[in-house]
Amino acid sequence: MADAVAAGADARLSLKEIFGKVGDNFWYWLFTDGYDRNPLVRKVLPSMPDTQIQTNFTGRSGHMALSQAFEAYKLFKLIYSKNAKDFVECGSVLDFGCGWGRIIRFFLKDVEPTRLWGIDCYREMIDLCKTQNLRCNFDAIAPMPPTRFPDASFDLIYLYSVFSHLSEEAHLKWLQEFSRLLKPSGMVIATTRPRDFIRHCIELSKKEDLEPWQFGAAISFQNPEQALREYDEGKFVHSATGGGGILERSFYGESCIPEKYVKGVWTRFFPVTGYVYADDHRGFDQDVIFARKS
């Protein structure tokens, strides 16, 4: 493997060409312990941003941040393979709200970098991604659609902790845009806050020693009983807080999207939908919504 990595680095091969046949668990090891121990691995794999940047965006840093990202990567691939087609046939992927690129780096084993896109409304994060040896495509976008991509551009669009924050208006507009961007039988996979997050926000509001990334949640859902009741009725539950900078209160806050809402509303855009609860997948602390274009 060391010889193959060295040869691939010298030849500037893609990570798919170098590592495409390795297993997922070894792939994760390369990004964590392997990266820490081996300078050759650090030469070919993407780097990590400053620890504080990692924490501000994800509430985690280092191996913990990558572990959560890896679990999302594995689950997204599994959902796609079970509900669309074998992931080896997935030719183009969009990471919507890519942040500092912690999830998209894992897809470099499966998809050629020219067919991988990461987009975010934070231009600073896009600029940062371009400095981390990620090799794929990155672009800054506006908070609201449309994007500049042509129709039917992607087999898979995934969003980690994006629909967890957007208002219902923004949510619906982006669903319509995703329907345009997906190829026939393409899939969108998104995460959302679980029902218990509403009570978690109230517990946070009682604490004094909050981390900066917890401030928005701590001021959310000031009437938790009403929020829980609306959630159980199948309504889109959103608390507008804003997130600083470009993330204005008009569209950004904390959101919990129940399965009943997905079954009633997402089917306007996608004929096939599914919902996986956090307690069922246990990879990370958010529910997962998926839908397939006809």
Q: Which fold has domain 51-294?
A: Rossmann fold (3.40.50)
Q: Where are the domains of the chain?
A: 1-45, 51-294
What is this structure's pTM?
0.96
CA angle 48, 52, 56 (to 5 degrees): 105
Q: Is the dihedral of CA 110, 113, 118, 123 positive or negative?
A: positive
Torsion region of 293: left, alpha or beta (phi above 0 gives left; psi -120 to 50 gives alpha): beta
| Average pLDDT over all residues of the chain | 95
Q: pLDDT digits over 183-212, tens only?
A: 999 999 999 999 999 999 989 888 888 887
The structure tokens listed for 173 are: 């507009």
Counting as low any pLDDT under 50, the low residues of the chain are: none
Whole-angstrom distance, CA of residue 255 vs CA of residue 240: 9
The terminus-to-terminus CA distance of the chain in angstroms comes to: 41
DSSP letter assigned to residue 149: P
Q: Of the candidates 172, 198, 163, which has an alpha carbon nearest to the alpha carbon of residue 268? A: 172
Q: Give tens-digit pLDDT for 119-154.
A: 999 999 999 999 999 999 999 999 999 999 999 999
